[in-house]
Structure 1
Amino acid sequence: MKSSHVVIIFLWVFALPLIMLMIREYLARKKDGTISNNNIFVSAGAGFIGNFCDALGIGSFAVITPILRATKNVDDRVLPGTLNAGCAVSVAIQGTVWMSDIGIETKTLVVTLICSVIGGFLGAFVVTKLDRNKVRVVMGVAFVIVAFILLSKQLGFFPNIGGEANGFHGTKLAAFAVLMGCFAALMNAGIGMYAPAMALCALMGLNLSYAFPLAAGGCCAMMPTAGIRSIVAKAIDIKVAMWMFLGSIPGVLIAALIVKSMPLTVLTWLVIFVLLYTSASMILAAKQNKGAGDHSAATEPSAE
């Protein structure tokens, strides 16, 4: 079996259980009257736009978060879980559409994906325990990092030349896999995985063509894991996540199958400025509410 087939199977093994759990949770919340009254058109539109941009290489969280916050369509406390659950399936679709034969060593691929699963779960476990203000601070800092990565790419500082290695062994493999696991954990806070994966591949001499399958596999291991954990912990707005998921499907397919590529320089600069603004607003909101008795624990029912 080709390594690309391994990754595609891996993507859907994690994505399908999340889809089933989301549908069950959505119907249960709707039946007992505890579902939120957030706007489905805003949610679907955010999923469409964000995942359209993600398929073109900008990232989804960086685009969706400002939309949801500007429209006040989701509580900040449940934002990380909602993003991960709502965008997880689009990564599986991207991987299925674009994955070609990878050529990476099976051992490196498997060990890296396993570490991504572990990192994603541990990161989700931590983030779902945070109160609203801590979520704001963590995501605010994360978005500054994302903006820095995008800025580095725009200014040409981002590493874009990899090596010829098709895998690692021993200590180097352990270091690579652990770092990819850390990237998966940080995705819970809004840091995308593709750009850091490209940088790591370049720095460690791995062929850059392997960055996408590794990142896609890691994302689709981490995001459903984080989404499921968030549903169990009640740290998600299931209505927003469900409609983001539905909106993401045409967004990804149009970008991947019809548009395929487009000039993104101006849009990327816009995303950088929006990210910095969103980061500042989240950190400022956390600072303003610190003394206002906002101690919402992650285990409390969300505003759904």
Structure 2
Amino acid sequence: MEKIVLVLIVIINGMFGFKFIQDILKNKEEMKQEPGSNIFLAISSSIIFFFSTFGISDFAISTILYRKKKLVSDKKLPGTLNTQCVIPVAVMALAYISVIKVDPVTLIVCIVSQIIGAYIGPRFVVKLEPKIIRKFISMGLLIATAFILAGKFNLVPSGGTATGLSGAKLVIAAISLFVYGALNNIGIGSYSLTMATIYALGMNPAVAFPIMMGACTFSVPIGSMEFIKYGEYGRKITAFTSTFGVIGVLVAVYLVKSLNVSMLQWVIAAILLYSGLSMIIGDIKAKKAEVAQA
């Protein structure tokens, strides 16, 4: 089953790669006119996806960087954020699934659940207030951080060595990943949420990586091919992230593979804390901006 997943990752992302190469060959002159020095894009691509491999949102980092440097218009930003991560995330998924052991059934259930959530979830999610959702999620991430730290300081039992789930825990994981897939469509990343869920269910923290990367590498390419179809993305940025971004991924994967579970728990706690606080700070800034505008 694991081999089937790996083959499907190659096929689906290979389809994206074929469409992308076709498009840049057709529009190579237009791509040359796009802003951004080659050296800057090479370095930034490696750094962005180095951190992304640890679960830190490449969407968030890229949005800040590309807007500040005026590398892509706001109209093309959503498409760029999606297309640029397809190949690096595929490499992440292939590497993690190959080097980090996870129960195949658990992996498949989680991947399928997130794909379904990403596909049919928006029709339900759009009815909810994004601000309310973000508040609950930010608090949830901070609570998850507190839980991990409490375990590290022996305030509560901690640990978790399981590489698979069954029964009620597998159902909880499936429902959670379904929800996370839906939330991706309103701009809430699933990396930190998946980490928190995996940890809470008593699994080895390292198992979060093949699960969250595996889920994303199936759902993102489909939408990205639509952005390519309509030309609503940054071709130059995507070309650099598809090459130099992969270098950052491979370096980070080696580090994750060599980290012991105790160290990885500290890394995950830091990521969850960063994600939760950044969401709260973002909401505060948005509220101040609304007041100032009014």
Q: Give the TM-score taking structure 2 as reference length.
A: 0.69
Q: Structure 1: how far apart are the matches of 2:80 and 2:184?
A: 12
Alignment of 1:1-304 (within 5 A): 3=2, 5-30=3-28, 33=30, 37-41=34-38, 42-98=40-96, 99-100=98-99, 102-106=101-105, 108-122=106-120, 161-162=159-160, 164=162, 166-169=164-167, 173-257=170-254
Q: Structure 1: how far apart are the matches of 2:249 and 2:104?
A: 28
Q: Structure 1: how far apart are the matches of 2:281 and 2:11?
A: 37
Task: Tell me, yes or no, if the aligned pair for 1:40 and 1:240 is still in contact at 8 Å.
Answer: no
SS in structure 2 of the partner of residue 76 of structure 1: coil
Gaps of 5+ in 2: 152-157
Which moves more between the two structures, 63-72 or 193-202? 193-202
Could you tell me which residue of structure 2 aligns to residue 294 of structure 1?
A: none
Q: Structure 1: how far apart are the matches of 2:172 and 2:207?
A: 17
Structure 1 pair 19–229 and aligned structure 2 pair: CA distance change class (3 A) = same
Segments of 4+ moved more than 6 angstroms = 123-127, 140-150, 258-265, 267-289
Q: Structure 2: how far apart are the matches of 1:163 and 1:198?
A: 14
Q: Structure 2: how far apart are the matches of 1:205 and 1:241?
A: 37
Task: Tell me, yes or no, if the aligned pair for 2:88 and 2:241 is still in contact at 8 Å.
Answer: no
Which moves more between the two structures, 235-244 or 280-289? 280-289
Could you list the per-position Cα deviations for residues 139-162 of structure 1 after superposition, in whole angstroms to 9, with x for gaps in the alignment? x99988887677667666579744
SS in structure 1 of the partner of residue 18 of structure 2: helix
Q: Displacement, 1:22?
A: 1.4
Q: Structure 1: how far apart are the matches of 2:289 and 2:84?
A: 24
Q: Structure 2: how far apart are the matches of 1:70 and 1:6?
A: 42
Q: Structure 2: how far apart are the matches of 1:288 and 1:76?
A: 22
Structure 1 pair 122–13 and aligned structure 2 pair: CA distance change class (3 A) = farther
Q: Structure 2: how far apart are the matches of 1:146 and 1:209?
A: 22
Q: Structure 1: how far apart are the matches of 2:60 and 2:34?
A: 24
SS in structure 1 of the partner of residue 165 of structure 2: coil
Count of matched residue positions in the alignment of Structure 1 and Structure 2: 275
SS in structure 1 of the partner of residue 245 of structure 2: helix
Q: Give the TM-score taking structure 1 as reference length.
A: 0.67
Could you list the per-position Cα deviations for residues 65-99 of structure 1 after superposition, in whole angstroms to 9, with x for gaps in the alignment? 21111112222333232112111211222233343
Q: Structure 2: how far apart are the matches of 1:103 and 1:181?
A: 19
Task: Tell me, yes or no, if the aligned pair for 2:93 and 2:217 is still in contact at 8 Å.
Answer: no
* Percent identity between the two aligned chains: 24
For the aligned residues, what is the CA RMSD? 4.4
SS in structure 1 of the partner of residue 28 of structure 2: helix
What amino acid maps onto 1:46 in structure 2? S
Structure 1 pair 207–244 and aligned structure 2 pair: CA distance change class (3 A) = closer
Q: Displacement, 1:9?
A: 2.7
Structure 1 pair 206–55 and aligned structure 2 pair: CA distance change class (3 A) = closer
Structure 1 pair 66–281 and aligned structure 2 pair: CA distance change class (3 A) = farther
Q: Identify, as 1 or 2, the structure richer in helix.
A: 2
Task: Tell me, yes or no, if the aligned pair for 1:122 and 1:185 is still in contact at 8 Å.
Answer: yes
Q: Structure 2: how far apart are the matches of 1:39 and 1:143?
A: 33
What amino acid maps onto 2:118 in structure 1? G
Q: Displacement, 1:285?
A: 7.7
Gaps of 5+ in 1: 131-136, 292-304
What amino acid maps onto 2:103 in structure 1? I
What amino acid maps onto 1:84 in structure 2? N
What amino acid maps onto 1:100 in structure 2? V
SS in structure 1 of the partner of residue 243 of structure 2: helix
Task: Tell me, yes or no, if the aligned pair for 1:80 and 1:189 is still in contact at 8 Å.
Answer: no
Could you list the per-position Cα deviations for residues 173-222 of structure 1 after superposition, in whole angstroms to 9, with x for gaps in the alignment? 45532431332333344433332112222334555443222112101112
Which moves more between the two structures, 87-96 or 172-181? 172-181
Could you list the per-position Cα deviations for residues 38-86 of structure 1 after superposition, in whole angstroms to 9, with x for gaps in the alignment? 3253544432211011224433223222111111222233323211211
Could you list the per-position Cα deviations for residues 79-131 of structure 1 after superposition, in whole angstroms to 9, with x for gaps in the alignment? 2321121112112222333433624152x33233223233334579999xx9x
What amino acid maps onto 2:110 in structure 1? T
